[in-house]
Structure 1
Amino acid sequence: MQTSLFQTSPIGMRFGTTTWENQLGYPLQLSYLVVLLGLEGEATITLNFKDYTLSKDTLTVLSSDTIAIMQQKTADFKVYGYLIDRSLASEIAYQLPNQLFGFIHDYPVHQLSKREKQQVVYWNKQLLYMLENNASHVQQMVCNHFENLFLRLAEYMDEQGTFKQQKFSRQEELCWKFWDLIGQHAKTHREVAFYAEKLHITPFYLAQISKKHLNDQPKDLINRQVVLELKTLLRTTDKSIGEIAEELHFVDPSYMGRFFKRETGFSLSAYRK
């Protein structure tokens, strides 16, 4: 994706307008999460071997494992894009229903009604205001803003009954169950073997299907959930570091600090500020 003119936000995101000039026929380089808002013109894009039409009335959500190839476009084609890094995408996804990710994977392009288009335009203006004015709580504001967008998609899927229509393979079902188990148990259990036992499979098989369908190793997904739990406690409570370490079952606060530094690059005190 042609992003040389994109602005970069320190919270883990790039954003701006792109025309995909000189990109026809080549796989697009995508970030961990990509949100595209149609502005002008039309384009045909192949996503995971299926063709879609992008227009000024489409909202498109892609991920790093999407195979995206631009096939053709009109001269005036233009989209506004948000390229979101993994850490920020994980925070956005923290409160979202798991079924939504399966839906977005299967239905990446969403046709907007006239009213929905107006709402998305307003949503985009609000987001740009947050990013360009460097509010003190910009990361939390941006996360909430994207959560609202995705929750609206979830409501739409509920209305259409699309969740009920989804059919997953045995491996995909295991991965979704694993994802749910992480949300339930990551505070107390961080061993891959614990989750494999819950799923009645071997740790080796869990690693295979996790890499295939979730694009990460089980341990990385578990650690990411622990980081999200830790960030939430640091940001939304006044609990001491020792109390948080006890709640998250770390052997001591210093080990928790080293874990957080390794995973995020921040010390606990620096993040809490």
Structure 2
Amino acid sequence: MNQQKVYNLEEFATKYHIKDIYGAYAAYFSVSGFNNMVKERTLFTKILLVKQGSCRMLLKQTIGDEQSIQLAAKDLLIITPKEVADVAEISPDFQAESILVDETFADHATRYQLTDEKDKSITDTFHFIRDIVRRQHINKVEMIRSMFNVLKLIIEELPYEDCSVTHDLGHKKQVYEIFLHHLYRNFRKERQIRFYADKLNVSPAYLSRLVKEISGSTINEHATSLVYKEICNLLTQTDMSMGEIAAHLNFSDQSAMTNFFKQRSGMSPLAYRNK
């Protein structure tokens, strides 16, 4: 009897024509139905976020009993490398989004029913991972790993949703990771410390001290570094005008953006684009 092939992420993505992939580490794709992909044995974790419709899956471990899991909108399913699945039932309107990642998120298959707030948070994180994978970034490795840290933190909170457990703000690393999540989502428009402090329900002074302590850099240094790298990316990867880039990054005008860029690169944005 032939042994079933076990796929790494790159092999799996090639077989099923998944385009949004980052090496052998992570991939994103949307799902409107299922085919044989759920039956494949893999070396990576599969995370499924149901957007609409319903589905019943039969999960099987290499050794162990079959487990039936019913999925509906706002359900999150984590499938570990131990499990393969059969689709027993699926509605015609079924839609979902999936993240594949070469990291451990659970010891066994786990389903969570999400609140509206958590569904939005996880959807936003999925989309940020997708966007990082699709675009060129100087710090792509650090950005994508930070977003998976954020995703882990969100998922770790899910079992306690009914207990009204809030963020442990004494846990400095957790606060820092959540700060990074908000910064990566909002740095193009928001670079004031108070904006991020309000998001975390802490004082600006506390957040400033915490970020400096954990990272060695100030909040302003984090934000300006992201803005500078985004300008470099837009100059080399797009044909946006200087005025369009300035507006996209919420500078008061093109001159302010040019001065900001010159201070960090020693040349004008146009010279950088043409070099």
TM-score class normalised by the smaller sequence: 0.3 to 0.5
Greater C-alpha radius of gyration: 2
Structure 1-normalised TM-score?
0.46
TM-score where L is the length of structure 2: 0.46
